[in-house]
Amino acid sequence: MRISCPHCGERGLAEFTYLGDASVTRPDPGLPGAADAFYAFAYERRNVAGLMQELWYHQAGCHAWIVVSRDTRTHEIFNVRLAQDVALERSKSSVSHAP
Amino acid sequence: MIRHDRYSIFSVLREALRGQSGWGPAWRDASPKARYDVVIVGGGGHGLATAYYLAKRYGINSVAVVEKGWIGSGNVGRNTTIIRSNYLLPGNIPFYELSMKLWEGLEQDLNYNAMVSQRGVLNLYHSDAQRDAYARRGNAMRLHGVDAELLDRDAVRKMYPWFNYDDARFPIQGGLLQRRGGTVRHDAVAWGYARAADRLGVDIIENAEVTGFRSTGGRITGVETTRGIIGAGKIGLACAGNSSRVAAMAGLTLPIESHVLQAFVTEGIKPFVDGVVTFGAGHFYISQSDKGGLVFGGDLDGYNSYAQRGNLPVVEDVIEGGMALMPRIGRVRLLRSWGGIMDMSMDGSPIIDKAPIAGLYLNAGWCYGGFKATPASGLCFAHLLARDEPHEVARAYRLDRFRTGHMIDEKGMGNQPNLH
């Protein structure tokens, strides 16, 4: 498995550190039901068999956090984006969808 | 009709004279019935052991084990065959010690040669801090009645004079030894439990993959499989590696990630290492099979995976550990490597509990310690299925422990499954 870092290009797996599912986001502690939401945030995982969005850290490279779209059944990588861009996009869409 | 031979020296001699023509299949090729009292999903070691103990100790004989492949095709045939009960925490030690005691009587119980070999498990330490940690672990074990000996460098040298004691970065200072630990022929565990369960009336249904669950009024009443719908009074999941996928069919999200763990075996060589040894400064453990191959492994690859194969950085890391400990393995040729899929739980410990859905029971989250747990896992899961209450030694393995803060985190890594 080799990962194409948006800054550094294609690099070997040993340069990267894995965090986990990138679809997990920190809940708002002010909302009702926050305790349950934090439990799910900390412990529950969809554990996808198939295409998964994952957070990786380019530790032995540019130190960027990246979001990798990868098939957990075959290890095939489809897309790599900077986590910063993904987060900005997510915050934009959550603002535009706010009531 | 299957012949119910009892394996003994007499049956071996009889068949030797008959040209081995009289052996029957070890278990029936069962077709699913419409309904069972208990259906176990997963025909690996844990599922088969559960079915066996349900029939043998709890008197429940209307049991089916449904397996998506063939018996022995999953992790029970892909592990590195080590058994031990050298745990630290109170929630774990009695459970793994029960497992060790069951291993010690397993072959007589099953009438099957599982090649249980108590050759000793030696965990090496390479610093003062690591020695103190192992002393603490050994003391915890002894307080629970488990054997443990803390060896100094000279005692280890007596056992294995050829280790690299003077490695510049990680000199061997000593080790924690559990003499009752060792290895077991992993396939034979699956076959032995399957045969013994079959004899007690358990139906072992191979090539039947679960595709969904049936429920009525909030209670699970059956499984849909590729070989038809099977009704069940209770359903037990024992499909570690794929627990999340199967539980998702019942609408459950588990505190588990699936990860790949690699293992390796070399060409067969003459007797080389007569116990199980672990390198404490990296992650490398090794034993030698009776065929002569060196069987070894190390860390998880560290990313979510359902592919039964891993990547090269971990291969390199494992072999570096091996070379640091025993440089003389450098010229042995690797025969094969493979990967197994682990249910990595959020605290590194398993779950044996009722699911929050009536009729459904969980046996999951075995991380990479599932093989050694096989007998106790089966016994405790059978107890839970039969009595609707946890077995005494498995009380801590609750599903809700993550919510209530009662984690059993041997390594103190928190909710990062790839670090357990």
CA B130 to chain centre: 26
Which residue in B209, B239, B303, B312 has the most chain A C-beta atoms within 10 A of its own C-beta, making it the best mutation to test that interface? B303
Beta bridge partners of B342: B259
pLDDT at B188: 97
Three-class SS state of B335: strand
CA B240 to chain centre: 10
Contact B403, B347 (CB under 8 A): no
pLDDT at A95: 63
Q: Which helix (H) or strand (E) holds B10?
A: helix B9-17
pLDDT at B3: 59
Query: Residue A96 pLDDT > 90, yes or no?
Result: no
Three-class SS state of B165: coil
d(CA B158, CA B401): 44
Helices (H) and strands (E) in chain A, counts: 2, 6
**Measuring CA to CA, which residue among B243, B241, B195 is closest to residue B49?**
B195
B415–A48 CB contact, under 8 Å: no
Q: B306 to each of A49, B62, B316, B368, B407, how far by Cα in Å?
A: 6, 32, 21, 15, 26
Which residue in A2, A47, A71 has the most chain B C-beta atoms within 10 A of its own C-beta, making it the best mutation to test that interface? A47
- B256 interfacial to chain A (CB closer than 8 Å): yes
How many residue pairs from chains A and B have C-beta atoms closer than 8 A?
70
d(CA B212, CA B226): 10
B253–A45 CB contact, under 8 Å: yes
**Measuring CA to CA, which residue among B187, B45, B200, B183 is closest to residue B120?**
B183
- Which residue's entry shows tokens 């599982």? B114
Which residue in B253, B259, B300, B305 has the most chain A C-beta atoms within 10 A of its own C-beta, making it the best mutation to test that interface? B305
**Measuring CA to CA, which residue among B82, B83, B89, B96 is closest to residue B139?**
B89
Query: Residue A98 pLDDT > 50, yes or no?
Result: no
- B370 interfacial to chain A (CB closer than 8 Å): no
The backbone torsions φ and ψ at residue B402, rounded to the nearest 5 degrees and listed phi first, read -70, -35
d(CA B363, CA B224): 19
B245–A54 CB contact, under 8 Å: no
**Measuring CA to CA, which residue among B349, B162, B322 is closest to residue B255?**
B349
Question: Which chain A residue has its CA at the smallest distance from B258's CA?
Answer: A47
The predicted model scores a pTM of: 0.96
Q: Which of the 8 DSSP states describes residue B29? A: -
Strands B293-304 and B256-268: antiparallel
The residue type of B136 is: R
Query: What is the signed CA dihedral for A53, A55, A57, A62, rounded to 10 degrees?
Result: 60
Beta bridge partners of A77: A70
From chain B, the residues in CB contact with A44 under 8 A are 253-255
d(CA B269, CA B339): 23
Show the tokens assigned to B131.
């020695």
Question: Which chain A residue has its CA at the smallest distance from B256's CA?
Answer: A45
- B313 interfacial to chain A (CB closer than 8 Å): yes
Predicted ipTM of the assembly? 0.93
Contact B285, B82 (CB under 8 A): yes
- B251 interfacial to chain A (CB closer than 8 Å): no
B304–A54 CB contact, under 8 Å: yes
- B244 interfacial to chain A (CB closer than 8 Å): yes
Question: pLDDT tens-digit profile of A18-76?
Answer: 999 999 999 999 999 999 999 999 999 999 999 999 999 999 999 999 999 999 999 99
Selected residues 327-346 of chain B with any CB under 8 Å from a CB in chain A: 346
- B11 interfacial to chain A (CB closer than 8 Å): no
pLDDT at A93: 80
A39–B402 CB contact, under 8 Å: yes
Show the tokens assigned to B183.
């290895």
From chain A, the residues in CB contact with B242 under 8 A are 49
From chain B, the residues in CB contact with A45 under 8 A are 244, 253-257, 417
Show the tokens assigned to B102.
């069951």
Give the residue ranges of chain B where pLDDT is below 50: 1
Q: B325 to each of B152, B294, B297, how far by Cα in Å?
A: 16, 14, 13
d(CA B260, CA B340): 6
Question: pLDDT tens-digit profile of B19-57?
Answer: 999 898 999 999 999 999 999 999 999 999 999 999 999
- B211 interfacial to chain A (CB closer than 8 Å): no
Which residue segments constitute the domains of chain A, with CATH numbers given?
A: 2-26+37-96 (3.30.2270.10)
Query: Residue A99 pLDDT > 60, yes or no?
Result: no
